[in-house]
Amino acid sequence: MRIRTIKAYRMLQPFIDGPYKMSKGRQADAFDAVIVSLTSDNGLTGWGEMAPLGTFYSEAFAAGAEAGIAEIAPHLLGRDPRALTQIGRLMDIVFKGHPYVKSALDMACCDLAARAADAPLVT
């Protein structure tokens, strides 16, 4: 099984119960998330997500994740998503730091591997 396509979708996910409030009057009304899909050559698709609270909360932010995923994605095409250690090492070589960027891709690889094994990801 090999990764054939990688797509990233930016999505605003509002909080159901109103804004998330923090100190100093800061608040977030929604997650500005990036959803990633990896489709394999056998037609299976794995999904991952990265949903930060915004740049005022941490350095992780959706626009940065989207740009980072675009940098990493070409290097993952043709790779076996079940080879999680090798995928992780490759992402570290290609893109130093920024684990929040890699997390959505890692989750999508895990999801795709679980789907290929016809097993739930949670076990």
pLDDT in tens, 21-41: 888 888 888 888 899 999 999
**How many Å is the Cα radius of gyration of the chain?**
15
Report the CATH number of the 3-21+28-116 domain: 3.30.390.10
Strands (E), the chain: 3-14, 20-21, 27-28, 30-40, 45-50
pLDDT in tens, 69-87: 999 999 999 999 999 999 9
Q: What is the pTM of this model?
A: 0.87
The chain-wide mean pLDDT, for the chain, equals: 91
> How much is the average pLDDT of 104-120?
97
Residue 88 has pLDDT above 80, yes or no: yes
Report domain extents, the chain: 3-21+28-116
